[in-house]
Structures are given as structure tokens and as C-alpha cells.
Amino acid sequence: MGRAKVIALLTDFGLADPYVGAMKAVIAGINPKVQIIDISHHVPPQDIQEGAFILYSSYKYFPKGTIFVAVVDPGVGTRRRIVCVRTGGYTFLAPDNGLLGLVITKGEVGARCNVPLLAVEVTNARYFLPEVSSTFHGRDVFAPVAAHLSRGLNPARLGRRIDDPHTFSFPDPLVVKKGVMAGEIIHIDRFGNLITNVEHVWAEVLDWGPVSISVKDKEISRISRTYQEGQVGELLALFGSSGYLELSINMGNAREVLGCVRGDKVIVRYKDRAYNND
């Protein structure tokens, strides 16, 4: 695909330690022209599910050709594989622990788009730093490999093709019975918005009529469009910017008010107009 203009970074390294800076330093030494964009470095330590969601909900806004480096890697230095996955559009580099799972299974990489998926196990030490520590592959392996890819290196040079990259995905919501769907909170953002695994596509496919949503002991009786509907302090449900149903409080913090954590159940009751034979 020729040279890439952007390398995007996602890690659980935080910004206090010099780990992210060291990765950027290595990239700049190999390809001074590539632009480095941070997605986030505040994935909770070793939280692969959170990393996978953050990557999946943002990658498609990057310019085609972008190389994504995702490092949430509790198994660094063990036999876990490192994978490079390429589609017509993007290249992803990550430990093969599920971090690319959502991108592979739900993104354009995967089934939805029928784009051929090239997956390679990264083993060719020629593109690593000369000395590879067993505890910081972000700096010693991922950064130099990404920089070489951004200069046009063919991923096939990185190692052998594989056809079984890890395809973790968070659970889909469950249709418990006709007109009742059980979802869960999969992400909570800085504003305290509670993002669920109920994608907008469900509302379309099932052609939701009037809806009511329950979380904890609260009930919401309509889908809003913005964070500022109803009264100040009112609990709202809306489809957010990632396409997922989320719960929010007008000028407030839903996480704090409801005391929710990731994994909490959210029940959606809807009039099922698509399959409505009643």
C-alpha cells in the first residue's frame, strides 16, 4: 500500500511513565515523516476488552492507510503471538489476545464487508530493535515494526500467514423473548455516559416501536436525540456517536448517579414491528 501517513497508538501505558514517549522516539528514528496520533493510553491496565472497544469505536475515522498499533499485553515476552492484520484499508498490529477481536469480527475487516483479511504472525526480528527486552515489546517490537510498515514494508515480510487470529468479541445482547432484549454496559466514558452493547442496527432490524429501557431500578420511556433533552438531571437513553445505545443524564453523570459498573444489565422492551404477527 505504499507509505502510510499516520500511525495511531492505543495502549494501557498511561502518560506518566516514559513508555509512550519511547515508542514515539523509536518510530521517529525510523520514519521521521509519519504523523503519530494517540487514540488513548488510558486503557485500564491489561483490560483487553476495553482496549478492543476503544479501537473498534474509533478506527474508521482515521484516513485509509493508517497503521494502528494496539498494545494491551499482559503476556508480553511469553509465547503469545503478535499479529499484523491488513485489509484494503488499514493495518493493525497487536498482541494476538483479542485486542483486535471487535475490528476483525464486527469491523470492515471481517464478515460484514467480505474484504480479504491478511493476517501474519510477526516474527521477523530484522524489523525489531537490535536488543529486544522481554518486558517492553511496545518499544522494541511494535514501534519499529509499525515504523517500517509506514515506510512501505510488505507485511508478508514480517512472518508466516495465519488464518486463526484471536477473535474475541463482547457478548451480543440477547433477545430474551419477543419484544425484550437484555444487553449490558460495555463502556463508561469520561462524562459518565453508560454505553451498552445494543447497537443501532437492532432498532432498525426489529423496527422498534415504542420503547422502554430499564437499568437498576430506573425506567426510561423514550429514545432521545441529544444529551440535553428533558429536565436537567433527567436520565436519558440515546444512540451515541459510536452507534450504541447509551444512558446519560442531562448535565449530569449517569455512572455516579446510578452507581453503575461495566457488565451491569440493561433491559430494552420494545414493540417489535418487524416480526409483529400479534
Nearest to 122 by CA among 103, 144, 90: 144
Burial of 30 (0-12, 13-18, 19+ CB in 10 A): middle
Identity of the residue, 100 or 119, whose beta carbon is nearer to a second copy in the bound complex: 100
User: Rounded to an integer, what distance in angstroms lies between the CA atom of residue 234 and that of residue 230?
Assistant: 6
CA 116, CA 181: separation in Å to the nearest integer?
Answer: 33
Q: Are 100 and 52 in contact (CB under 8 A)?
A: yes
Out of 124, 169, 212, 253, the residue judged to bind a second copy by CB under 8 A: 253
String of contacts with a second copy for each residue 82-121, x by CB under 8 A: ----------------------------------------
Q: Which grid cell is 93?
A: 498490529
Our finding on whether 170 is near a second copy (CB under 8 A) is no
CA atoms within 13 A on the CB side of 147: 22
Q: Which three cell numbers stand for residue 189?
A: 466514558
Site map 57..86 versus a second copy, x via CB under 8 A: xx--xxx--x-------xxxxx--------
248 strand-pairing partners: 236
The residue type found at 111 is A
CB of 262 to a second copy, least distance (A): 13
Q: Which of 109, 174, 177, 238 binds a second copy (CB under 8 A)?
A: 238
Judged by CB, which is closer to a second copy: 39, or 83? 39
Closer by beta carbon to a second copy, 134 or else 277? 134
Provide the binding-site residues for a second copy, judged by CB under 8 A: 5-6, 8, 10, 12-22, 24-26, 28-29, 32, 35, 37-43, 45-46, 54-55, 57-58, 61-63, 66, 74-78, 133-136, 139-140, 189-191, 225-228, 238, 240-241, 251, 253
